[in-house]
Structure 1
Amino acid sequence: MGRPDSATFNALLDATETVMRNEGYAAATSRRIALEAGVKQQLVYYYFRTMDELLLATFKRRTERALAAMEENAGSAHPIQSIWANLRNRVDARLVFEFVALANHHAGIRAEVARYVTQSRRIEAAAIARQFARDGIDNGPIGPGAAAFVMYAVSLLLERETSTGITEGHDEVRALIDWMLGRLG
């Protein structure tokens, strides 16, 4: 097996993301990924025993990077606003939806999706709760977990619709969220 810190290993993960984003997970074959990475097809199997391993490694790399960004946002002076800005600017909805669709058929990715979402919600909810408490925010019925969920769902849906050419109402939704977050201070 090839080294996970090598340039070729990472090129294969990058290529997998590109193929899935642009052509869907069904197009993520060893031949297509090798072509995208600019390597011979045999190298795919030198680094990964199966395509399932490659797909899972690709998703795990994304989740680790995303969790690191969330931890950074959670530690900011205004974590709610930082979380929203991160979600608004960094969610790759096309790729997210491809991995979620793949999770229906791939137990390893399904487990990783569950682990990632659970961990990310806990990180975000804890940061939101800290800001609510620190700033004396009366959040009414909106608990920290609900706030984290709503921000993620809204950002994902906005990006997904935008990627399919739908933008009706998006500016108003963004303005509403920005207005609400602006009231938090």
Structure 2
Amino acid sequence: MEVTPPRRRMGSPDSAVSNQLLDATERVMREEGYAAATSRRIAEEAGLKQQLVYYYFETMDDLLLAAFKRRTSRALERIDEEAASRQPIQTIWESWNSTVDAKLVFEFFALANHHDGVREEVNRFMAAARRKHAEAIARQVDEHGLDLGPFSPEALSFMLFSTALLLGREEAMGLTIGHTDVRKLFDWGIARIG
């Protein structure tokens, strides 16, 4: 008869310390990259003992996944608010431009290449976000009798996110050539259909 060892005691996932570790994980990933996100570095950033990382998270993979899930949970709440807007196309564009932490998003995307759980969560989040945004865009198109020409709501949702993300990433690296013109182009187009 095989005996399953008792599961070790874990800290509460919603505790102040757990959130302190998740905040520290985001800061380390944003400033130093996902490869720097070790238990030692995160504990140091959080001002805590390294052992606490493993009291609250069984593995570093669990910590990294929890950090991403917390971000996506918050983002989906914001997306629901955007979708309820009277002019979701403009609201989505403005929100992606003001709320996307492009450096951190790109670090999570890079991590997803090596971490199955993060990759699954990235795909789940992106599909849900795109679906919610496309539904809101379709509603605005129907309610206002808009003509998007060859753009489907899904295509427009993709373009709004991708453009805002790339603009944010380039700006984080100090590259801004053409950004003002791209934003003017999107603002002009959204004003015409909104």
Displacement of 1:183 after TM fit?
1.4
Give the number of equivalent residue pairs: 185
In structure 2, C-alpha distance between the alignment counterparts of 1:72 and 1:38, rounded to whole Å: 35
In structure 1, C-alpha distance between the alignment counterparts of 2:35 and 2:13, rounded to whole Å: 24
Unaligned stretches of 5+ in structure 2? 1-9
Partner of 2:126: 117
Query: Residues 54-98 of structure 1, C-alpha deviation per residue, up to 9 Å, x if partnerless?
Result: 000000000010111000000011111111111000111110110
Partner of 2:52: 43
Q: What's the TM-score once normalised by structure 1's chain length?
A: 0.99
Q: Which runs of 4+ in 1 moved over 3 A?
A: none
Whether the aligned pair in 1 keeps the contact of 2:102 and 2:169 (CA below 8 Å) is: yes
Partner of 1:150: 159
Partner of 2:111: 102
SS in 2 for 1:52: helix
Whether the aligned pair in 1 keeps the contact of 2:148 and 2:193 (CA below 8 Å) is: no
In structure 1, C-alpha distance between the alignment counterparts of 2:52 and 2:17, rounded to whole Å: 8
Displacement of 1:181 after TM fit?
1.0
In structure 2, C-alpha distance between the alignment counterparts of 1:127 and 1:181, rounded to whole Å: 14
SS in 2 for 1:113: helix
In structure 2, C-alpha distance between the alignment counterparts of 1:44 and 1:128, rounded to whole Å: 42
In structure 1, C-alpha distance between the alignment counterparts of 2:32 and 2:68, rounded to whole Å: 16
Displacement of 1:48 after TM fit?
0.3
Q: For residue 119 of structure 2, what is the amino acid of its counterpart?
A: R
Partner of 1:77: 86
Unaligned stretches of 5+ in structure 1? none
In structure 1, C-alpha distance between the alignment counterparts of 2:11 and 2:91, rounded to whole Å: 37
Percent identity among equivalent residues? Answer: 61
Displacement of 1:28 after TM fit?
0.2
Partner of 2:17: 8
RMSD after superposition: 0.6
In structure 2, C-alpha distance between the alignment counterparts of 1:8 and 1:124, rounded to whole Å: 34
Query: Residues 109-160 of structure 1, C-alpha deviation per residue, up to 9 Å, x if partnerless?
Result: 0000010000000000000000000000011110000000000110011001
In structure 2, C-alpha distance between the alignment counterparts of 1:12 and 1:91, rounded to whole Å: 21
Partner of 1:135: 144
